[in-house]
A and B are shown apart, each in its own frame.
Chain A
Amino acid sequence: MRSAVRRLTLALMIVASLLTLFLMVMIAGDVLLRYATGSGFRGSTEVAEVILPAVAYLAMAYTQRRGEHVASSVVLDRLPTRPARMLHSAGMVVVTAFLAVLLLVTTESAIDSANIRESRYGLLGLAVWPTRILLAIGLLALLLENLADTWECVRSSNKKGSGVQVVPGAPETQGGS
């Protein structure tokens, strides 16, 4: 289960990485082209607006896995181990429920959007619904990662042992690839 989630998260991260590089090449290329020939790509701003949300939401599960969503453990660090773990578990459960609701409503709107082939105002009239679907997929992976973390957290809060494992905003602590 956990390994399937990891594979999904990594796959989405790779898509997000490629899209990020594409954004860079497209916008920088637009500037260059405009400089060289006097005219850039048609509608590059619209393309960027469709790709950017996909990058952001496909990345979130990976951020969760690397432990890079900023959290503050200042209070938790001062509590005794057992209440600290219970408080953290409770927080995790609430967050998981929130992500589930978020996934549900964004999936619904992605389906509605795909049904009417929703497009955006602009030059190219680009389709918006693929972005909405990618966004929901990103949230799904985030929910699954969070579910796995919550499960581990709740399980460990019933056991005796060392302190709570929370890493506030410190990068590279849980390893990248």
Chain B
Amino acid sequence: GSDGGVANQDQITFKYATYQPENSTDAKVAKWWFERVDELTPNHELDVKMFYSGSLLPPDDTLNGVASRRADAALFATSYHPKELPLSQIATVPFLSTSAEASARVHAEMYENNEAFREEFKRNGLVPLVWAVVPNNTLGFVDPVDSVDDLDGKKIRAVGISAQALEAKGAEVVALPATDLYESLEQGVIEGFSTLIFTNAVLGFNVAEVAPNLVDSGLGQYVLATQVVMNADLYEGLPDEVKGAMGQAAEEALDFSLKETQAEGELACDRLQELGGSVTTFPEDEVSAWKDGLFEGLLDQWSESASESPDLTEDAIEEFESEYLEAMSERSGEAAPDILTECANRG
């Protein structure tokens, strides 16, 4: 039933599921957002049960889990559901954006302005409320890697479309779950990793301990994620006061999230230095040569697979694509630098 989770007149309960641990930035932001919504709603009391570390829903089961209300809301990475959320996969195309802030703001705007993008969530019974700040794809290696050509012959963990960018430079790509990274790096099964964010690489999964040579590769963001995605029926049934507060809190949460990410990034940078590691930035000309040969093709690949969806017309895809690219280039200039880049600049 869509009784909106309202048990008493003024008490609203939520089960929030995240696959990140309790001390992660992601979990902190979600907690902060719920608390803020509660503050903003004097007539309602929010009662939130947080389930951490995938204990309620594994990451690849989040879509079904929230749609069926096994959880009311969750942290949600769209890349686990390429067929259900074809437009969202654009964020997996490498070289598209290298600013976490720009991406998060663009996603929020696109959700307001682009109907096909909005429909994509609605069709699956979801409402995205808080857009996640996803820092750059962090590469890390056991041995130092200084240029794009050093990727040749390296065995690297990667998933998603960005894997193709690595393969284009002669890397041997292995799809491993993030939980297997430490052991695999240590035992030489792989020589490097990708598709992790800086803080997770250094603090969460601790893999910088065995692969301390990190690289700011220029591949940029690799996933479109929402900090809080909510069951659509539940959301629709909420009182207007609460829905309004959720919108306002979401805007504030983005700033909180950016600040938290920066702070975590600094901690991670300290830790990396303790480990004797460092962040290398690939030379700009190398990156743009790398991008030039690949970017258009990968973007075409994305739009082709999106066009396989029965719910999307060619026009809708094209419109989404051009709006997305335009918004991204507009937003990128003014955005804060990525935490990985910051750490590289630190010395």
Residues of A within 8 A of B (CB): 34, 38-40, 42-43, 45-46, 109, 116-125
Contacts and interface: CB of A to CB of B under 8 A. Distances in A.
B172 A123 contact: no
Interface string B166-208: 0000001111110000000000010000000000000000000
Interface residues of B, number: 22
A44 to B, nearest CB: 8
B239 interface: no
Given A38-B153, A39-B155, A119 B83 contact: yes
B160 interface: yes
14 contacts: A39-B172, A40-B174, A43-B175, A46-B175, A117-B308, A119-B82, A120-B60, A120-B80, A121-B160, A122-B159, A122-B160, A123-B159, A123-B163, A125-B82
A109 B68 CA distance: 12
B83 A121 contact: no
B83 A117 contact: yes
Interface string B77-93: 00111111000000000
A116 B311 CA distance: 11
B177 A45 contact: yes
Interface of B: 60, 64, 79-84, 153, 155, 158-160, 163, 172-177, 189, 308
Contacts of B176: 45
B60 A121 contact: yes
Contacts, number: 44
Contacts of B189: 34
Contact of A122 (B64, B153, B175): B175
Given A38-B153, A117-B308, 19 more contacts: A34-B189, A38-B172, A39-B155, A40-B174, A45-B174, A45-B177, A109-B64, A118-B83, A119-B83, A120-B80, A121-B60, A121-B79, A121-B81, A121-B82, A122-B159, A123-B158, A123-B159, A123-B173, A123-B175
Nearest to B163: A123
A42 B171 CA distance: 12
Nearest to B176: A45
Nearest to A121: B80
Given A38-B172, A43-B175, A116-B83, A121 B159 contact: yes
Contacts of B163: 123
Ranked 9 nearest A-B pairs via Cβ: A123-B175, A39-B172, A122-B175, A121-B80, A116-B83, A122-B159, A121-B79, A45-B175, A118-B83
Contacts of B82: 119, 121, 125
User: Among the interface residues A42, A109, A122, A124, which one has the most CB atoms of the partner chain B within 10 A?
Assistant: A122
A45 B175 CA distance: 6
A97 B160 CA distance: 41
A122 B173 CA distance: 11
Contacts of A119: 82-83
A69 to B, nearest CB: 25
A112 to B, nearest CB: 9
Nearest to B84: A116
A150 B6 CA distance: 43
Contacts of B172: 38-40
Nearest to B92: A121
Contacts of B159: 121-123
Nearest to A118: B83
Nearest to B83: A116
A50 to B, nearest CB: 12
Nearest to A42: B173
A5 to B, nearest CB: 31
Nearest to A112: B64
A12 to B, nearest CB: 26
A39 B81 CA distance: 29
Contacts of B83: 116-119
A125 B308 CA distance: 14
A120 B58 CA distance: 14
